[in-house]
Structure 1
Amino acid sequence: MSVRPNVQLQILEAFNFRHATKVFDPDRKISDADFETILEAGRLSPTSFGHEPFKILVIQSPDKRELLREFSWGANGMMNGSSGQLGTASHFGIILASTAATMTAGSDYLQDHYRKVKQLPEDVIELFNGAYGKFQSTDHRITTEREITDWSGKQAYIVLANMMTTAALMGIDSCPIEGFDMELTTQTLAEHFGVDISKWKPAVMFAFGYRASDPQFPKTRRPMAETVNWF
């Protein structure tokens, strides 16, 4: 694959363009083709061991979005006196993280994933089981329900980061959202969205669309010298 001219400039322009959009223009909608590209960037994202411990829920029904409003303070507009991302975003959703029920080393789910998705031969599956088992039990010591779900959540953030970068490259705005009650969101997903919460837990919400107005403040970050150490 050849690198397009000025790709470095395009990337930096996209990252400077992107900001956590709190209010979108409700009259501007992302085209189906553009959002499919955003979703494909998420689907193709890397995950630890290639286990893909995430699922993307896209919530377009206004009634379904309203089910989340009361306890999603990061998306309901209470911080800025608007209807928030829930009320204005072209596309809104939640990325779910896999639980220990599927992501524990040796699980039936993973054996099926190795064979049907990764299409690995049996001897390689045996190697994967051993390596991932050591990773969980010894290297990173992620063996409890909370630890494994949190690990899956880390993979979900990689997915969302790639989705947001893809959107920015196309001039589409976005916002990652952690401001929600985890327990109430989990209950709502089970009761109203048919989510099996023994296998999936909410990791992060997201919103995509087109900004209603430009940011009021310039982008601020630590200088490179305070961000990166070379050895």
Structure 2
Amino acid sequence: MNTALKKKEILDAFAFRHATKEFDPNRKIPDEDFQFILETGRLSPSSVGFEAWKFLVVQNEEIRTKIREVAFGGKGQLPTASHLVILLARKDVRYDSKYVEYIYKKVKGLSDEAFKTIPVVYKEFQENDLHILDNERTLIDWASKQTYIPLANMMTAAAQIGIDSCPMEGFNKEKVTKVLKDAGVLDDEVYDLSVMVTFGYRAADPKHPQARRPIDEVVEWVH
């Protein structure tokens, strides 16, 4: 592998990516490319491997229109984006839940005997180390934080193949939740709305270059 070339390709992708406010409505992402983007989300890491997420790909124009009415941050993106992904956070990620048992036994392949220590270890982690179980909100917030890992990975992967994106928190959570529930695509007993992201091809290049703080303001080395 040419490491220098690979690093340049990755940094070029980060420089290319910007929060695209309006996409070219006539250009659609090929299925193969979008499956690649979703796969980078699926393969993303999560705290203690719980995979506390679901990716809802909303291509229904009626649902998108209803979301746009209650999403001030998506007025230009939602009508023009090739794809809309809503990242949902799981609510059932307690150490003693059936979902956690499923993850460790069915997905990771642990035996009943090997699984016995898992709830014990993660009870301490969730209750005392991070205080995730202080209330329902803290548990959901912890799960929601996990969704930002695949969010970032999908946006970066998209940029590496020339596809634009825009993450969105500018929406009324309760109203978007109602839109999705009314459409029958959200079980709010299991999932909580976390963040949205649109993908497509920019309608125009950004007017200003990407601006970030210098590295010495962002990074502090502790020796």
Q: What TM-score comes out, normalization by structure 1 length?
A: 0.92
Tell me the residue number matched to 2:142.
Answer: 151
**Distance of 2:29 and 2:2 partners within structure 1:** 27
**Distance of 1:192 and 1:65 partners within structure 2:** 11
**Distance of 2:74 and 2:164 partners within structure 1:** 15
Output aligned runs, 1:1-231, within 5 Å: 2=1, 6-76=5-75, 84-99=76-91, 102-143=92-133, 144-231=135-222
Shift of 1:3: 6.0
Shift of 1:4: 5.7
1:148 is matched by which residue type in structure 2?
L
Contact 2:18–2:166 at 8 Å: present in 1 too? yes
* Other structure's SS at 1:6 match: helix
Q: Runs of 5+ in structure 1 lacking a partner?
A: 77-83
**Distance of 1:17 and 1:93 partners within structure 2:** 21
Contact 2:96–2:119 at 8 Å: present in 1 too? yes
* Other structure's SS at 2:220 match: coil
1:9 is matched by which residue type in structure 2?
K
How many percent of aligned residue pairs carry the same amino acid?
48
Matched length: 221
**Distance of 1:131 and 1:123 partners within structure 2:** 14
**Distance of 2:7 and 2:115 partners within structure 1:** 39
**Distance of 1:117 and 1:140 partners within structure 2:** 25
**Distance of 1:221 and 1:93 partners within structure 2:** 26
1:97 is matched by which residue type in structure 2?
A
Tell me the residue number matched to 1:79.
Answer: none
**Farther off after superposition, 102-111 or 23-32:** 102-111
Could you give the per-residue CA deviations for residues 85-119 of structure 1, whole angstroms, max 9, x where no partner exists? 110001012000011xx111111121122111111
**Distance of 1:17 and 1:126 partners within structure 2:** 47
**Distance of 1:89 and 1:208 partners within structure 2:** 6
Could you give the per-residue CA deviations for residues 123-142 of structure 1, whole angstroms, max 9, x where no partner exists? 33222212211111000001
Shift of 1:165: 0.5
1:164 is matched by which residue type in structure 2?
M
Q: What TM-score comes out, normalization by structure 2 length?
A: 0.95
Could you give the per-residue CA deviations for residues 43-75 of structure 1, whole angstroms, max 9, x where no partner exists? 000011111110001111111211211111111
**Distance of 2:194 and 2:208 partners within structure 1:** 28
**Distance of 1:222 and 1:122 partners within structure 2:** 50
